[in-house]
């Protein structure tokens, strides 16, 4: 048996490749799916089936792409109008090699959500693994608010049934394989520990301590999770079956002048460097989203109707940036800046920079009561746990729609927990005409490390 | 949390690297231990502790080598006179990053055998993983015959206590991480499925169905496992602390004439090619042990007091061959044949070959009652499950000491299940002066695929 | 300036990538042309032009494939009816980066043959390199017999003019970059030393010592080079513009039974293992052509109208085998044998083997006057330089058409210089129903190393 | 024949690996010499000889290190008191494989300078390649001022003899293999074209147009090359034979607090990031030398008596940085900053930044006659070819010794041609207490691209 968990960084998405004998299956493949094909080829296996746990809302599913590459059959749950693949019914079984996979309808996150149990008939008929999609995570359960507040009660009740009546009864010894790890928006409190079993979750998972259905539903209704704008796009794509890429796009590195032409034709510039480098010098008008933040914050801030141009620290990062973008549906990548930002300023093309300040400097400014608008762009919960006195809070993902709350004419000092999200925010402010923007290096983390006061 | 299982092929040995935050631990490191250092370096971690589950008998432990490389501290069980490292007491706890490891004395396989449980105090105080060494495997339990028949009853009773009173009570949901996978001599029936939990084992592991201690002991005493000669050497090495290699040896590829000089000085030739290639042409007097069989059958047939010379299919396989040899204590590798076997016969140096026959030809010979000694060199159990009529049985590992049972003067036809072990056997026969030796291509597997009769 | 010489092994073909600033050119690209694209991409260059020195007869040109990948323009000489690309005129100049390439019509090998000179205008207007295609090699000149004996005199005279009046006058200091290295059939005596200049060739090249045109023509007319059957196919392809592959084919590894089905549908089996391995066991009816011999001997023995199935030593060699085949136009590759020859005989499918004998055994057989047909399959010149007494000579490339010269019913013992080409020959004999075929390990090389007699 | 040119970037140093049959030689190996060993091993060759063309002044020779690794013999010229290796006499010949190398005494750059000619006796006795060390380059000749002005005339006359009477007479067709390419301080005007012959140099090399000895000497005496402080250290090391490293040092990535402890113990911080990133935020007191500038500018500005700490863009650049440092004798590398600069400011440790301005902003400042000290840190020749009006000139390498020429109290604006060397200069100014330091992004290149005026 070959078992490989394939992570998509940033999205904290987990997919699974399971091989037995000459056959393999993939569960919830990502869109850049060559990796599954390569695994299969290396082991002399054929991918026979692709299973989807549900119509995903946070990334583009790779099933049609992988089917194109391998000829494997696609299966997903009933109840919504998928334009591709086959429907699977509760209890349906699939054999590959000496293994057996069985489908288990576990609605709650979505109506058509499926789990899949894996058993090894030679050793015993009970399953030893379960793939729970967005129903059950390590340390959390799936969100139940995707259908809107009217249906949240129904969904939460369904999830309670799925977990307590279908998944947990599989037995404490069953290994848990969820669709997301820590950092995903599909659950609020997923653990960083990636290894668990139903038995461990039964005892330790905070949500599973709400065994009473009403209590569980109440707990879920109180949850307050972000709903990034790109979710709608993902849902639609994943229902229709996303456009086939047939291999990873390989955008061209463009010399500064050609790059500028694409800008003039309407392309957006996304600069994936670290905040200290972006702050030092960047193309006027560019978005500053650090590389690993791209698969998530890209979806928050970038429109889908314009081509994207990339400024990278190293040209070798192109492939990674492209993977991140296509996973959330940004297929139209017009190129990267050849030679990086240095080639741009060597041509005397317009650059901009941010004021990068240390927490010591920020403290001084506050103590000297310098005029400024101090902006905290972290998440709601982080803000609630403590912030710098005098700050205002707008989540980075909501910033561009709330610019009216930020006065023009005085300096804006932005912080997050690290200066990465504040760099995204600062770039948005600059783009929108704010002249004097400061990013606080190290932000809240440095602030605390310096021993400065935090208020609630 | 970073969790990596590192396999040593052939020995089916499993070691574990677990990292949390900036710190990491390794459990039962193999001797070619650069891999753990590289994992740690890549993740920006420091290896803090090395844990041994027991004094191993089937491979050379890598703890001293890894300590040399990293400065980590070594821990192992009390009760035998280890010449290196520290003793750990039952219940002792170790912190690394946000994780906690606790020692659990689980004698039975050996007296000083330890298990180690892993917990994540932030999520709960119960362990979620257990490293059981050779106490409990997926589908089997450790052998209890290493101290000889007089102590086998005591050891089996101890193992029963360790498993039923110490390990299983940790809870069904605990993930099982044993020291061996399928193919190891440390347990007879280890499953190929590498993922399990205590809960699954409790239900499915045949040995664990013997909950009654007497029944369990009886079951263990009936077990009949091979005891390869190199086990003694391993035990002694692992007690003393093996010689430091300080990096993998890199033997030189030698031109045929220099290679021959080393042979004349007493070095043994080990040819790691596949049986059809070895059978086609090989150096007169060489052992034919296919590459992946080397870490196991090497220990059965090669003496420890002579340098080893290698004949490889491709020079790129040198590193693998060296890893396999040093893992079982063959550190004295005098070189490889530069240019492979072709360079040897191009120099008109003495070659030999085997008669390679198909199962069809063997069938014909049998039907025509040709004179031959038909030799089955598979394991006892394989022989018992069915063999070719008229065959005699001597396990390949015992062959060189049982040559008196094989008549000289008539052809010897050797088979196993695949023609790999029979190639080892055939090379031993040739070395010992048997002139006319046949290896049956595909052996028992082909025989059955051809639909020929098997007797018990 | 970036200068890379790209070799195609087996064919001894040399192509060139030259980059300057942001632009690059390629001269005589091979068909598996990703390598030039990758070079350009890595250096941030664009391939602007592709130059062909002539319509090649010994491999499939990669220009159309590379144009498809890069958009570069193709140029070649006038005078034949190329169905793709542009014609270049004598003296035409091309700029890329700070470099300048100039075309030079140098007929003789073919009528439309071009050389190209490279200069660096910033440093001086004289060229410092010349790409001579098949006009001038290190240690030899191009063959002039491709248009048949009637035109050989005209072609040789043209080549004399091209070399003495056009190429050599460029100056002794010009670096020579020919289209082939040692081992090519396009010149008989190309040196293994790959670095030369016009000055060195003027003094050392044996052909260039014939300064007198008549003497030169006479020298060329006496030359006697092989004309493999696949040359015709190459010429035709290269005139039309070969079929686009759009990436390297990736044939599937087939399990034995599927492999056999393809055989039954008419596919040929080509086994690329070494002769000692092929001789040990192979699929009945397969061609045995060692991997590095494939790009050359493939073209001699394999028909173009049947799919090809591969048996490889290691599955990793698939890509190499595919490259070798498509370079000479064998695009129809039906798959490889998954698991190699061992998987075949494990299934009890029909295998065959050769009698592999040492030169000592051959000597014995000769001295004991055993009945046999001793066959030397080396080239004409090798045979003339000395062979084993009693042998008959048929070049391996002509064997299949001369089977009538080989008696059936008595053993055939084949040798070459190494046992590689004799393995090809032996496989052809087996395929054609010869029962008892011997291959002499080490062949002539071992024979001489053993000190045995050679006759002329 | 295998011929590999091994470049050391930054130093523009060229070494050569030449193999023939089973034997190889290396000319002027670099100190990180594993690459030669790997080349030899891959080809099945043994490195037999190491040749040095002269005692190098600009990098640490790798001969003793390579001898340690391979057992090869070292040879160098007579006349200075080398503490290792053997002396070679003019005309001495060395065979390896089928090749022959002959020594040729060619003083001028240094007294013991040797060239080596390579010939292929099978093809002709004349050499086809010459390794000229620092006597003759592509487009230039070696500097003759290393022994000071008193001896410069004698050295230049010697060089004239060596070139015109020994090297050029080898023949126009001989391929030139010098010890340096463009960018080396060992010659002022070395061409970027790396391929040449004696014939091309005879015609195109500006220095070789001075055939008259007096004219040549005069030409050389007028040359004005920098003499970096580290040259003295190199000369002394290379005379004694440098300390053996026995493998590349692998300094540890240190968490910010441990890093700071090393700083407090006296270690210097070298930050190898690009100028826009260094300018954005860096550790207070660090040197800013971009990675590729390290092997050269490191030697200009870093003292030899203090340990070095590295701040890198990516931890993967560690190996490159270490190579660069040990090549010029900085063996004492105390570690790198784990997690890069971000980990530093996350800990609220003291950061600094530079004012990064565009050329447009600089232009404004000049036009508005803002008070500033405008500093050009390029080379003498670059300054002479044109600079910004009002600037003062101090070469970056001389800056730290000329701080008295730079007024304190007013802003200092630094530029070079690109903002890389000006970043080095700016970091030196900051380190020395200058508060307000500006680096001009794109510097002179951007200034010219913007169409602004340049004065001489």
Query: Which of C23, C37, C44, C70 is most worth mutating to test chain A (most A CB atoms within 10 A of its CB)?
Result: C44
What is the distance in angstroms between the Cα of A327 and the nearest Cα belonging to chain C?
Answer: 24
Confidence of residue D186 (pLDDT cuts 50, 70, 90): confident
Q: What is the pLDDT of residue B184?
A: 79
Which sign, positive or negative, has the C-alpha torsion D123, D125, D126, D129? positive
Nearest to D253 among B44, B255, B339 (CB): B44
Provide the number of CB pairs (under 8 Å) joining chain B to chain D: 11
Annotated domain spans of chain B = 2-240, 253-352, 355-449
Q: Which residues contact C202 (CB under 8 A, 6 or more apart)?
A: C168, C172, C208, D173
- Fold classification of A355-449 is Oxidized Rhodanese; domain 1 (3.40.250)
Residues of D recognised as catalytic: 416
User: With left for phi above 0 and alpha for psi between -120 and 50, is residue C219 left, alpha or beta?
Assistant: alpha
Q: What is the pLDDT of residue D182?
A: 86
Residue C213: half-sphere exposure toward Cβ, Cα within 13 Å: 14
Instruction: Find, in chain C, the residue whose alpha carbon is nearest to that of B441.
Output: C345
What is the distance in angstroms between the Cα of B274 and the nearest Cα belonging to chain C?
Answer: 9
Q: CA B313, CA B278: separation in Å to the nearest integer? A: 10
Q: CA A298, CA A333: separation in Å to the nearest integer? A: 13
- Cβ within 8 Å, pair C255-A338: no
The answer to whether residue B416 is catalytic is: yes
Contacts A124 to B, Cβ<8 Å? 200, 203-204
Contacts B359 to C, Cβ<8 Å? 348
Check pLDDT > 90 for residue B227. Answer: no
Torsion, Cα of A348, A352, A354, A355 (10° steps): 60
Query: Which of D23, D41, D69 is most worth mutating to test chain B (most B CB atoms within 10 A of its CB)?
Result: D41
pLDDT in tens, C341-391: 999 999 999 999 999 999 999 999 999 999 999 999 999 989 999 999 999
Instruction: Give me chain A's average pLDDT, please.
Output: 95
Q: What is the pLDDT of residue A166?
A: 98
Confidence of residue D192 (pLDDT cuts 50, 70, 90): confident
Q: What is the pLDDT of residue A288?
A: 98
Q: What is the pLDDT of residue A347?
A: 97
- Residue of B33, B177, B186, B416 marked active site: B416
- Cβ within 8 Å, pair C338-A255: no
CA B423 to chain centre: 19
- Cβ within 8 Å, pair A449-D279: no
Across the range D34-46, mean pLDDT stands at: 94
pLDDT in tens, C160-216: 999 999 999 999 999 999 999 988 777 767 888 888 999 999 999 999 999 999 999
pLDDT in tens, B301-315: 999 999 999 999 998
Contacts C129 to D, Cβ<8 Å? 195
Ramachandran angles phi, psi of A237, nearest 5°: -60, -45
Nearest to D418 among A275, A346, A356 (CB): A346
Q: What is the pLDDT of residue A224?
A: 85
Nearest to D276 among A275, A281, A347 (CB): A281
Residue C163: half-sphere exposure toward Cβ, Cα within 13 Å: 34
Contacts B69 to D, Cβ<8 Å? none
Q: CA D335, CA D259: separation in Å to the nearest integer? A: 7
Contacts A197 to B, Cβ<8 Å? 128, 172-175, 197, 199
Q: What is the pLDDT of residue A361?
A: 97
HEC-encoded secondary structure of chain C: CEEEEEEECCCCEEEEEEEECCEEEEECCECCCHHHHHHHHHCCCEEEEEECCCCCCCCCECHHHHHHHHCCEEEECCCCCCCCCEECCCCCEEEECCEEEEEEECCCCCCCCEEEEEECCCCCCCEEEEEEECCEECCEECCCCCCCHHHHHHHHHHHHHHHHHHHHHHCCCCEEEECECCCCCCCCCCCCCCCCEHHHHHHHCHHHHCCCHHHHHHHHHHCCCCCCCHHHHHHHHHHHCCCCCCCCCCCCEECHHHHHHHHHCCCEEEECCCHHHHHHCEECCCEECCHHHHHHHHHHHCCCCCCEEEECCCHHHHHHHHHHHHHCCCCCEEEEECCHHHHHHHCCCCEECCEEECHHHHHHHHHCCCCCEEEECCCHHHHHCCECCCCEECCHHHHHHHHHHCCCCCCEEEECCCCCHHHHHHHHHHHCCCCCEEEECCHHHHHHHCCCCCEC
Q: What is the pLDDT of residue B1?
A: 85
Check pLDDT > 90 for residue A118. Answer: yes
Q: CA D134, CA D143: separation in Å to the nearest integer? A: 8
- Cβ within 8 Å, pair B199-A172: yes
Confidence of residue C11 (pLDDT cuts 50, 70, 90): confident
Query: Which of A40, A44, A339 is most worth mutating to test chain C (most C CB atoms within 10 A of its CB)?
Result: A44
SS3 D109: coil
Contacts C338 to A, Cβ<8 Å? 44
Neighbours of chain B (3+ CB pairs under 8 A): A, C, D
Across the range D415-430, mean pLDDT stands at: 97
Confidence of residue D190 (pLDDT cuts 50, 70, 90): confident
What is the distance in angstroms between the Cα of D123 and the nearest Cα belonging to chain C?
Answer: 7
Ramachandran angles phi, psi of C425, nearest 5°: -60, -45
Check pLDDT > 90 for residue B132. Answer: yes
Q: What is the pLDDT of residue B79?
A: 84
Query: Which of B274, B282, B345, B451 is most worth mutating to test chain C (most C CB atoms within 10 A of its CB)?
Result: B345
Check pLDDT > 80 for residue D188. Answer: no
> Domain C2-240 is of which CATH architecture?
4-Layer Sandwich (3.60)
Check pLDDT > 80 for residue A186. Answer: no
- Cβ within 8 Å, pair C276-B281: yes
- Cβ within 8 Å, pair C419-B277: no
Q: What is the pLDDT of residue A74?
A: 98
Contacts B350 to C, Cβ<8 Å? 358, 360
Contacts D342 to B, Cβ<8 Å? none
Shortest CA distance to D99 belongs to which of D6, D202, D16? D16
Contacts D202 to C, Cβ<8 Å? 173
pLDDT in tens, B11-52: 899 999 999 999 999 999 999 999 999 999 988 999 999 999
Confidence of residue B9 (pLDDT cuts 50, 70, 90): confident
The CATH number that domain D2-238 falls under is: 3.60.15.10
Q: What is the pLDDT of residue C191?
A: 86
Is B439:B426 a contact under the CB 8 Å cutoff? yes
Contacts B181 to A, Cβ<8 Å? none
pLDDT in tens, B77-100: 998 889 999 999 999 999 999 999
Give burial (CB, 10 Å; 0-12/13-18/19+) of D189.
middle
Check pLDDT > 80 for residue B234. Answer: yes
Q: CA C286, CA C432: separation in Å to the nearest integer? A: 11
Across the range B411-420, mean pLDDT stands at: 97
pLDDT in tens, C396-439: 999 999 999 999 989 999 999 999 999 999 999 999 999 999 99
- Cβ within 8 Å, pair D348-A273: no
Is B357:B450 a contact under the CB 8 Å cutoff? no
Which sign, positive or negative, has the C-alpha torsion B247, B253, B257, B259? positive
Check pLDDT > 90 for residue B217. Answer: yes
CA A55 to chain centre: 15
- Cβ within 8 Å, pair A197-B174: yes
SS3 D47: strand
Beta bridge partners of C310: C270, C336
pLDDT in tens, A27-58: 999 999 999 999 999 999 999 999 999 999 99
Q: What is the pLDDT of residue C201?
A: 96
pLDDT in tens, A278-337: 999 999 999 999 999 999 999 999 999 999 999 999 989 999 999 999 999 999 999 999
Shortest CA distance to B51 belongs to which of B86, B20, B90, B83? B86
Strands A127-133 and A114-119: antiparallel
Confidence of residue B225 (pLDDT cuts 50, 70, 90): confident
HEC-encoded secondary structure of chain B: CEEEEEEECCCCEEEEEEEECCEEEEECCECCCHHHHHHHHHCCCEEEEEECCCCCCCCCECHHHHHHHHCCEEEECCCCCCCCCEECCCCCEEEECCEEEEEEECCCCCCCCEEEEEECCCCCCCEEEEEEECCEECCEECCCCCCCHHHHHHHHHHHHHHHHHHHHHHCCCCEEEECECCCCCCCCCCCCCCCCEHHHHHHHCHHHHCCCHHHHHHHHHHCCCCCCCHHHHHHHHHHHCCCCCCCCCCCCEECHHHHHHHHHCCCEEEECCCHHHHHHCEECCCEECCHHHHHHHHHHHCCCCCCEEEECCCHHHHHHHHHHHHHCCCCCEEEEECCHHHHHHHCCCCEECCEEECHHHHHHHHHCCCCCEEEECCCHHHHHCCECCCCEECCHHHHHHHHHHCCCCCCEEEECCCCCHHHHHHHHHHHCCCCCEEEECCHHHHHHHCCCCCEC
The CATH number that domain A253-352 falls under is: 3.40.250.10
Residue C128: half-sphere exposure toward Cβ, Cα within 13 Å: 29
Across the range D358-369, mean pLDDT stands at: 97
Residues of A recognised as catalytic: 416
Q: CA B440, CA B414: separation in Å to the nearest integer? A: 6
Confidence of residue D93 (pLDDT cuts 50, 70, 90): very high
Q: What is the pLDDT of residue A190?
A: 85
Instruction: Give me chain B's average pLDDT, please.
Output: 95
For the sheet with D437-440, list strands across it: D355-357, D437-440, D412-415, D373-376, D392-393
Q: Which residues contact C435 (CB under 8 A, 6 or more apart)?
A: none
Instruction: Give me chain D's average pLDDT, please.
Output: 95
Q: What is the pLDDT of residue D227?
A: 87
Residue D265: half-sphere exposure toward Cβ, Cα within 13 Å: 11
Residues of C recognised as catalytic: 416
Check pLDDT > 90 for residue D317. Answer: yes
pLDDT in tens, D95-108: 999 999 999 999 99
Instruction: Give me chain C's average pLDDT, please.
Output: 95
Q: What is the pLDDT of residue C124?
A: 86
Check pLDDT > 90 for residue C106. Answer: yes
Q: What is the pLDDT of residue C186?
A: 72
| Longest CA span, chain D | 74
Instruction: Find, in chain A, the residue whose alpha carbon is nearest to that of C251.
Output: A41
- Cβ within 8 Å, pair D255-B22: yes
Q: CA A131, CA A179: separation in Å to the nearest integer? A: 8
Neighbours of A402 (CB within 10 A): 10
Confidence of residue C243 (pLDDT cuts 50, 70, 90): very high
Query: Which of D200, D201, D203 is most worth mutating to test chain C (most C CB atoms within 10 A of its CB)?
Result: D200
Nearest to A279 among D280, D340, D347 (CB): D280
Confidence of residue D125 (pLDDT cuts 50, 70, 90): confident
CA B445 to chain centre: 23
Strands C136-137 and C140-141: antiparallel
CA A260 to chain centre: 30
Nearest to C356 among B280, B346, B360 (CB): B280
What is the distance in angstroms between the Cα of D169 and the nearest Cα belonging to chain B?
Answer: 41
- Cβ within 8 Å, pair B123-A204: yes
pTM beyond 0.90, yes or no: yes
């Amino acid at each position: 048996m070959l078992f490989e968990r394939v992570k998509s960084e940033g999205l904290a998405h987990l997919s699974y490749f399971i091989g037995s004998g000459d056959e393999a299956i993939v569960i919830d493949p990502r869109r850049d799916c060559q990796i599954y094909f390569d695994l299969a080829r290396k082991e002399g296996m054929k991918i026979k089936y692709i299973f989807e746990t549900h119509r995903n809302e946070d990334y583009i599913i790779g099933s049609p792409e992988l089917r194109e590459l391998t000829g494997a059959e696609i299966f997903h749950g009933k109840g919504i109008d998928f334009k591709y693949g086959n429907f699977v019914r509760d209890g349906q079984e699939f054999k590959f090699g000496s293994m057996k996979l069985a489908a288990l309808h576990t609605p709650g996150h979505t109506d058509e959500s499926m789990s899949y149990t894996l058993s090894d008939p030679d050793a015993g008929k009970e399953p030893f693994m379960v793939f729970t999609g967005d129903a059950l995570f390590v340390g959390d359960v799936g969100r139940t608010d995707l259908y809107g507040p009217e249906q949240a009660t129904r969904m939460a009740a369904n999830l309670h049934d799925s977990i307590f009546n279908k998944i947990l009864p599989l037995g404490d010894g069953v290994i848990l394989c969820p669709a997301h790890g820590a950092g995903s928006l599909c659950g609020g409190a997923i653990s960083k520990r990636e290894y668990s079993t139903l038995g461990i979750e039964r005892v330790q998972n905070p949500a599973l301590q709400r065994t009473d259905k009403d209590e569980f539903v109440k707990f879920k209704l109180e949850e307050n999770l972000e709903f990034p704008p790109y979710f709608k796009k993902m849902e639609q794509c994943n229902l229709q079956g996303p456009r086939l890429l047939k291999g990873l796009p390989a955008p061209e590195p463009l010399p500064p002048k050609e790059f500028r032409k694409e800008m003039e034709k309407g392309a957006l510039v996304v600069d994936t460097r670290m905040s200290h480098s972006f702050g030092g010098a960047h193309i006027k008008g560019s978005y500053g989203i650090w590389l690993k933040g791209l698969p998530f914050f890209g979806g928050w801030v970038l429109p889908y109707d314009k081509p994207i141009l990339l400024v990278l620290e190293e040209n070798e990062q192109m492939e990674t940036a492209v993977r991140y973008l296509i996973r959330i549906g940004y297929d139209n990548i017009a190129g990267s800046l050849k030679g990086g930002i240095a080639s741009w300023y060597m041509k005397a093309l317009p650059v901009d920079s941010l004021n990068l300040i240390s927490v010591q400097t920020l403290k001084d400014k506050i103590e000297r009561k310098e005029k400024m608008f101090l902006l905290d762009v972290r998440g709601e919960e982080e803000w609630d746990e403590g912030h710098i006195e005098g700050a205002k809070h707008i989540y980075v993902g909501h910033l561009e729609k709330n610019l009216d709350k930020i006065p023009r004419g005085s300096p804006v000092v932005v912080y997050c927990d690290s200066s990465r999200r504040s760099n995204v925010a600062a770039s948005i402010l600059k783009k929108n005409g704010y002249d004097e923007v400061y990013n606080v290096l190290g932000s809240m983390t440095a602030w605390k490390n310096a021993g400065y006061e935090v208020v609630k």
